[in-house]
Structure 1
Amino acid sequence: MSGGVEDVSRAIAFWCAALDYKPREEPSVDWAVLVPKQGTGVQVAIDLAEDPATPGRPRHHLDLYASDQEAEVERLLALGATRVVRKYPRDADFVVLADPDGNRFCVIQT
């Protein structure tokens, strides 16, 4: 997964805390690759975006799965995520949040 951001260091701090990841190597001012702290898994590349995020045209989208969705949403909000106001279907198993750069992601109840 790769995503463009407006502030690389802010994105590193947010996504490392949100996913329990760490930088694979020393990040540069415009690029970083994040990996799981424990074991193997999907790598997340973060690069400096030239254009700001715009509604309806996200730079990237992650789905995070949680056994306790409410607790996970609250944890991510405390890390700097914001709620995205939207009309949810009655049976929605997801909550849409935005990272500090406005990129949307979902927290899905498992």
Structure 2
Amino acid sequence: MLRLGSTVLGASDVRRATEFWARALGYVPRDEVIDERFVVLAPTDGVGQNVSLMRSETPPQDRPRVHLDLYADDPAAEVERLLELGASRVDWQDYPPDADFTVLADTEGNRFCVIDKAG
């Protein structure tokens, strides 16, 4: 039997990506960070999926086939908080008229969505 253990994001600066995602999600490094080529972030209570950051020299995709959807009870407040942490807005041309999501990019340019959980 398989289970999903971690979603891995590429990063040219693993330290910067680790700081962003740890603060964004309230996660902590699972292990002592010895090598900044690969870091696993885990929920502080141990419940939930890990997010890993791996050194990568490839550029982020403009339209990634795989991305994170972050559910939020107050999406406007979360988008603002994430922008303050270093995320950036993505000029997304494909928003439907009743969009319940906002497309952002992390400090490395990886795209992700903040989803209105109430919507």
So what's the TM-score if we normalise by structure 1?
0.92
Paired letter, 2:84? A
| CA displacement at 1:50 relative to structure 2 | 2.5
Hey, what does 1:74 align to over in structure 2?
A: 80
Q: Report whether the alignment pairs 1:38 with 2:45.
A: yes
Pairs aligned (count): 109
Q: Which runs of at least 4 in structure 1 moved beyond 2 Å after TM superposition?
A: none
Alpha-carbon displacement from aligned partner over 1:5-62 (angstroms, at most 9, x marks no partner): 1100001000000101000012212010000012321011111002222423x38510
Task: Kindly indicate whether the alpha-carbon contact (under 8 Å) linking 1:10 and 1:100 is maintained by their aligned counterparts in 2.
Answer: yes
Q: For the residues of structure 2 that align with 1:33 and 1:4, how far apart are their CA atoms?
A: 12
Query: Could you say if the C-alpha distance between residues 49 and 25 of structure 1 is closer, same or farther in structure 2, counting changes exceeding 3 Å?
Result: same
Correspondence for 1:95 among 76, 96, 102: 102
So what's the TM-score if we normalise by structure 2?
0.86
Task: Kindly indicate whether the alpha-carbon contact (under 8 Å) linking 1:59 and 1:103 is maintained by their aligned counterparts in 2.
Answer: no
Q: For the residues of structure 1 that align with 2:98 and 2:65, how far apart are their CA atoms?
A: 27
Task: Kindly indicate whether the alpha-carbon contact (under 8 Å) linking 2:72 and 2:114 is maintained by their aligned counterparts in 1.
Answer: yes
Quick one: percent identity of the two aligned structures?
A: 54
Q: Where do 5+ consecutive residues of structure 2 fail to align?
A: 1-6
Equivalences for 1:11-22 in 2 at 5 Å? 11-22=17-28
Q: Where do 5+ consecutive residues of structure 1 fail to align?
A: none
Query: Could you say if the C-alpha distance between residues 10 and 62 of structure 1 is closer, same or farther in structure 2, counting changes exceeding 3 Å?
Result: same
